[in-house]
Chain A
């Protein structure tokens, strides 16, 4: 005696967010049933294992059928196959495109290619995220990347419009796309301490200031590619370390601005030359694609490490860079 067929279809979609999450996390039906039963599903409404199994199967099937639509979320709103209330549509999409920070940290900056996809089982083993879920997340990245790649206009806005994501999630995807496009190396051991959110913040900064879009907002790839002209112009910054006068002037300006504001001031003042050299060197090399990829490594190796910069908190680092930036701008325009 075996249940040969068992379906339950509602006129309005029937789903529980718990089961959806289990499905997204890559649980098999049997594992999901186990999780649900351990979670107390049995206590409710005199359910037994068969009932939970049947319910889980139905929902899994529904999700599988929805998956095709979720690949282009705009279709979900005007498809006719499933009747899904708007708030449910939003939940379905948002959850489908959500990702594990642990996983994305591993893929960040890698080429979203078949080769990378093959390595997903390693990543799965490393991060504890189920392979199925890894694949979904990876495919999501790739899909968003492909769609946005050739679009004009601001990156975040494009992602939000085409995938109906929340602002926060759209920004994260923008960062992922940006990293993937510029192939920033983030996997080195020295960078391991950085979380995805740290890097996403950096990406946001770069997108806002260093891309073509920062100056012109109607170009293709405007938010994805760094502004080549700007990178070229950065070369001129070399004077900051080659010209003694300028170096001193720079130092005094920075020190005046920072005096009494940071505990590391003395250390900074003493090492200003090395520090500045590191930063300027990074800036002047950015025309080189290879060096662009190593941007974050260079920042850590050549700026932070020699001066024990790790002791600096990010707030401080941010402040420091901000000042440097403003200084550099000022002097550059002079």
Chain B
């Protein structure tokens, strides 16, 4: 018995009236965990019962502790008939399982019922006593911390970043079981909620196991999703980045000034050294480092060219590349997809031999991490990210049919009530699907000369039986130095390991070889250091690196697209969809590019492209934050060209459009304060919009220095004389040409110009931080907005549909600005749009974002975190070494990729991928069904375990668990002040960002991952769909807040609403909605309070010491 769970039911309040006669309620409570149930006494005739129960004790396996939620059911006692359920509370006890987080769950929880919503509140106390039975770590993964935050959490440093972890769990959807026909919808929804709680618990435990096997102690950037596949089941899947996190000593965590950070780093280093052997121990010295990147052989010192075949095949498939100068993946995937099959087998061979070489003691996880060097993180410590190649993405259309899941179809009858049992074959199928996608992503990254994918995410879109799996990320080269040191210091400003290229522009430098570019792009020398080449535009899925040099402010850019599709069934439908996809991606991309140029910007961050399928249409929505990177060339304008030059009338028209475009560009330049520094001008006026420090550096020594350096470091490439060829005449750059040849094109251009800029005082972005704004004030308002549009006209054209969709998105933004107008100057950050086609002729857009105020007066100043060019001015001998290293790693990758790409060339016809890749679906659909079955024996990753490893891990984990006394004291202080606060509800802030401006997060209390279903049979009475959803969303917020408060927290960071599935039937007066939310519960302290608390903490800790 490794754990004892204790629960106490204290009281209830605001209960609903259950007995009409007396207007009162005879309430009692059932407390259930696993298969054990306890009951409180009935507290008769009260709406505010005081049960004050004994401690109910559950003795359970820690495995169950992770999987199961504590279920609390409040009922009304009825002597003659069955007891009426008032509602339920599910409490995830995972946060109690690692000692660093919460020690007790205590507070008022809303009592939730799927039909009536929140019905009063119940006060509960929950504690867990864990017995230190280290041998039990095999099945459970207690102690692994989970973070939704996609950066290294505040107050921690990453000792090692292990890499990608993924897992999925499949089950039958209770709603689609035969029993659903006889039970009430309420019972069905209850079952669904319970099942999903169980499944996500199980999933988290399994991911935790993988992390432990890899040697990590935490998952950062944890992203869990549900796929409601209907008849074919319910999939819960998750991805994340496994890390070994170390808590920074609280002294430095409260004041992480850049100056003090290196000091704390130094303090930590002895312990780091001490731990090194622990990890080294179970790895043969020959195999080298535990991280995937260290395993790369380092042989050649100059970047070898790509195999010539590679770029060729890419080019031929990428019809868009003439226009889109950035890595665009959807198009590439046509050819890549064809290669996927053999590619994978090859990879498998490769990894298998690697495994053999390493010998038996090396765990299979190294292989796993090596197989997918993906990172779900979107922001990194400075210096970690060396180069960024561009966005890589892959999509695949799948048919969800019971035929393809034979296991489910057959076992249906006897699996009915056993929701816990997982069909053995099913996850395999899904795993195989995802593996294909990931392989594709990986090969795209390789084509870009990158060895890693950062800002990685996966999602699905399901319509009836068609499912689109998508994955995207940003191909990148990471600093091997960091990987080998195993040191990913979040405050890392250690200049000894500075990359040769300054961090303000280094990530822009192309990772691929310029002679063999994977796609045509115009390369120029970096406008910053002028030593390496940069592309003319850069698209990424990550956040803007904190030290990137930018001009002006960023802005939210969105491309929207609708495409009509014929209604179809099964494979015909899948074919139609997969045929449409590449066109959609292409158009979205063109739109993005045009809009970017229209704003006179040259880079996109946080790009996410969502494609949603409906019965008769496809929706595409691409959102990103545009910014002007000063390292990249200034964007050229947009030029309009007519197809018929002779026509005077037309000419005039085109001239008009051209003028409007030019005006818009000029206006936008002003609006977003895009005033790139003119490198060789000495006019100080030009620099007003940018970092003065930076420009002065450049101005101070304009030419000789860079030239000097480039000779030093770029001896292997062409002569550095090219400097003189630098195009300094911005604006006259090759303009982007748009051809106006038909009315559609005119429409497109018009729609380009209709995007209204945000009103004065407003800014918007979809990234964590708004480029160009640094001085946030503390006011914030998180919101969720959902809008559904019914298309009344059945005979809509693509153009009309586009217009409607664009207006829908634009109007939503307008609404936000209007509603939040009292907050100006303010920025809408992390604008997260998600589109869906819930029914034919319905378009649903859901948005979650946060509005944050900032101080207008200081927007021009970036707080001087550190001099950006500092790295360059340091000893040059030191810089030589890292350059070699990074050249090594990239060369190795390009070499291996060339090897891989070489083989499929010869054997591309022999095997075919099982996925339905667009472009090649039609010729494949006949065979892929069969191949699916072949795929069934995919290697189950993470199945190799070594006991020795886990044991040593247990030690390291437990040693990490000692949290510093000061934070303990502080949290105690917080808690006590909370409890003295009386009955008033404590304020819980919520934000989709990983930070709260003006505050410091002092403690992470655990992950919040909740799933709710709400239904109604009296839709009209509840105010229609809007009224219904409004109260449901408010209820979800309330339940999240209550759980956070019960953990002792006062905020949720990295909050996101992952699903909002609404099904309505107004004719029957019915509606149902599912919402899935997640985030990290934290305790924050206002920065202004820090001083005061620091002194009182000293007192309180001595007091408590005296008491004990």
- Bound pair (A, B): yes
**The one of B14, B819, B1027 that contacts A8, using a Cβ cutoff of 8 Å:** B819
Given contacts A46-B814, A48-B814, is CB(A2)–CB(B1037) below 8 Å?
Answer: no
Task: Say yes or no for A315: interface residue by CB 8 A criterion.
Answer: no
A8 and B1026 CA atoms in complex are apart in Å by 9
Total number of residue pairs linking A and B with CB closer than 8 Å: 139
With a cutoff of 8 Å between Cβ atoms, the chain A residues found around residue B762 in the complex are: 45
Kindly list chain A residues whose C-beta atoms are within 8 Å of the C-beta of B990: 11
Complex interface: chain B residues within 8 A of A10 (CB): 781-783
Contacts of B759 in A (CB 8 A): 45-46
List B contacts of A62 (CB < 8 A).
1030
Interface residues of A in 52-109 (CB under 8 A from B): 52, 54-55, 57-58, 61-62, 64-65, 75, 77-83, 85-86
B993 to chain A, nearest CB (A): 13
Q: Which of B118, B790, B791, B1026 counts the most A-chain CB atoms under 10 A from its CB? A: B1026
Proximity bits, A1-22, B CB within 8 Å = 1, else 0: 1111111111110101000000
Q: Which A residues are in CB contact (< 8 Å) with B13?
A: 78
**Chain B residue with Cβ nearest A5:** B788
CB of A47 within 8 Å of the partner chain: yes
Which residues of chain A have C-beta atoms less than 8 A from B983's C-beta?
Answer: 77-78
> In the complex, which residues of chain B have a beta carbon less than 8 angstroms from the beta carbon of A57?
1026
Closest-by-CB residue of A relative to B1066 is A4
Asked whether any CB of chain A lies closer than 8 Å to the CB of B751, the reply is no
Residue in B821, B1027, B1034 with the greatest tally of chain A CB atoms within 10 Å = B1034
Known: A57-B1026, A61-B1023, A81-B110. A45 touches B842 (CB 8 A): no
**Bound-state Cα–Cα, A1 to B1062, Å:** 19
A10 to B785, alpha carbons, bound, how many Å? 8
Contacts A7-B786, A8-B785, A12-B781 given; does A45 touch B817 at CB 8 Å: yes
Q: Which residue of A lies closest to B846 (CB)?
A: A7
- Say whether B811 faces chain A, with CB atoms less than 8 Å apart: yes
* B814–A47 CB distance below 8 A: yes
B121 at the interface (CB under 8 A from A): yes
B987 within 8 A of A: yes
Tell yes or no: A35 within 8 A of B by CB: no
Q: In chain A, what residue has the closest Cβ to B107?
A: A80
- B700-722: CB near A (< 8 Å → 1, else 0) gives 00000000000000000000000
Distance from B1062 Cβ to chain A, minimum over Cβ atoms (Å): 7
Distance between Cα atoms of A249 and B1049 in the complex (Å): 77
- Contacts A9-B1033, A9-B1037, A80-B121 given: A46-B781 contact, CB under 8 Å? no
Interchain nearest-CB distance for A309 vs B (Å): 51
Chain B residues numbered 956-996 whose CB sits less than 8 Å from any CB in chain A:
983-985, 987-990
- Candidates A47, A58, A80; contact of B110 at CB < 8 Å: A80
The residue of chain B having its C-beta at the shortest distance from the C-beta of A74 within the complex is: B983
How many residues in B have their beta carbons less than 8 Å from beta carbons of A?
A: 58
Instruction: Map CB proximity to A onto B1039-1082 as digits: 1 under 8 Å, 0 otherwise.
Output: 00110000000000000000000100000000000000000000
A191 to B759, CA, bound (A): 56
State whether A79 touches B14 (Cβ < 8 A): yes
A7 touches B1033 (CB 8 A): yes
Which residues of A are found within 8 Å of B784, using beta-carbon distances?
8-9
Q: How far is the CA of A50 from the CA of B808 in the complex (A)?
A: 11
Question: How far does the Cβ of A173 sit from chain B's closest Cβ, in whole Å?
Answer: 24
Q: How many residues of A contact B (CB 8 A)?
A: 40
A321 on interface, CB distance cutoff 8 Å: no
Q: How far is the CA of A1 from the CA of B811 in the complex (A)?
A: 14
Chain A residues lying within 8 Å of B804, measured Cβ to Cβ, are 1
Binding site of B, secondary structure by majority: helix, strand, loop or mixed? mixed
B787: which of A1, A3, A12, A45 is its contact (CB, 8 Å)?
A: A3
- In the complex, chain A residues whose CB is within 8 Å of the CB of B648: none
A9 proximity list for chain B (CB < 8 A): 783-785, 1030, 1033-1034, 1037
Please, which residues of chain A bring their CB within 8 A of the CB of B118? 80-81
- A83-B988 contact in complex given A6-B1026, A44-B821, A46-B759, C-beta closer than 8 Å: yes
Cα distance A86–B985 in the bound complex, in angstroms: 10
Q: How far is the CB of B1100 from chain A (nearest CB, A)?
A: 27
Interface flags for B811-829 (1: CB within 8 Å of A; 0: not) read: 1001111111110000000
In contact, B790 and A4 (Cβ under 8 angstroms) = yes
Which of A113-143 touch B at CB < 8 Å? none
> Shortest beta-carbon distance, A15 to chain B, in Å?
10
A8 touches B783 (CB 8 A): yes
Tell me the smallest distance from the CB of B797 to a CB of chain A, in Å.
14
| Chain B residue at minimum C-beta to C-beta distance from A9 | B1033
- With a cutoff of 8 Å between Cβ atoms, the chain B residues found around residue A75 in the complex are 14
In the complex formed, the residue of A with least CB distance to B800 is A1
**Contact at B787–A6, with CB atoms within 8 Å?**
yes
Q: Is the CB of A51 within 8 A of B1035?
A: no
B985 contacts A79, C-beta separation under 8 Å: yes
Complex Cα–Cα for A57 and B1025 (A): 13
B226 at the A/B interface (Cβ < 8 Å)? Answer: no
Contacts A1-B804, A45-B759, A52-B818; A80 near B985 (Cβ below 8 A): yes
CB pair A14–B781 under 8 Å, yes or no, is yes
Q: In the complex, A185→B1031 CA distance in Å? A: 45
User: Digit string of B791-815 for contact with A (CB within 8 Å is 1, else 0)?
Assistant: 1110000000000100000010011
Q: Which of chain A's residues have a CB closer than 8 A to the CB of B1038?
A: 80-83
Beta-carbon contact of A61 and B783 below 8 Å: no
Closest to B108 in A: A80
Question: Contacts A5-B1029, A55-B815, A83-B1041 known; A45 to B821 CB distance under 8 Å?
Answer: yes
Given contacts A7-B1033, A11-B990, contact A1 B791 (CB under 8 A): yes
Decide if A55 touches B783 in the complex (CB within 8 Å): no
Tell which of A3, A64, A75, A86 has the most Cβ of chain B within 10 Å: A3
- How many Å from the CB of A44 to the closest CB on chain B? 6
Chain A residues with CB under 8 Å of B988's CB are 83
Of the candidates A1, A58, A86, the one having the most CB atoms from chain B within 10 angstroms of its own CB is: A1
Q: In the bound complex, what is the Cα–Cα distance between A24 and B249 (angstroms)?
A: 54
Task: Please name all residues of chain A whose beta carbon is closer than 8 Å to the beta carbon of B787 when the two chains form the complex.
Answer: 3, 5-7
For residue A12, give the distance in angstroms from its CB to the closest CB of chain B: 6
CB distance from A290 to the nearest CB of B (A): 35
With A1-B792, A9-B783, A45-B759 as contacts: A55 and B819 at CB distance below 8 Å: yes
Q: A14-B783, A46-B756, A79-B985 are in contact. Are A7 and B14 (CB under 8 A)?
A: no
**Smallest beta-carbon distance A20→chain B, Å:** 14
CB distance from B933 to the nearest CB of A (A): 43
Q: Are A64 and B790 in contact (CB under 8 A)?
A: no
Could you tell me if B108 and A1 are in contact, using CB atoms closer than 8 angstroms?
A: no
Q: Which A residues are in CB contact (< 8 Å) with B1041?
A: 11, 80, 83
- Determine whether B789 belongs to the interface, using a CB cutoff of 8 Å to chain A: yes
Of all chain A residues, which has the CB nearest B756? A46
- B173-206 CB mask vs A (1 if < 8 Å, else 0) is 0000000000000000000000000000000000
Chain A to chain B: the 3 pairs with minimum beta-carbon distance, closest first: A5-B788, A8-B785, A9-B1033
Question: What are some 26 contacts across the A-B interface (CB < 8 A)?
Answer: A1-B804, A2-B792, A3-B787, A3-B790, A6-B786, A6-B787, A8-B783, A8-B784, A8-B816, A9-B1030, A11-B781, A14-B781, A14-B783, A44-B821, A48-B814, A51-B815, A55-B815, A64-B1023, A64-B1027, A65-B1034, A77-B984, A78-B108, A78-B983, A80-B1038, A81-B1034, A85-B987
- In the complex, besides A8-B785, A9-B783, A48-B814, 18 extra interface pairs with C-beta distance below 8 angstroms are A2-B792, A4-B789, A7-B1026, A8-B819, A9-B784, A9-B1037, A10-B781, A44-B821, A46-B756, A51-B814, A51-B818, A55-B819, A77-B983, A77-B984, A80-B1038, A81-B1035, A83-B988, A83-B1041
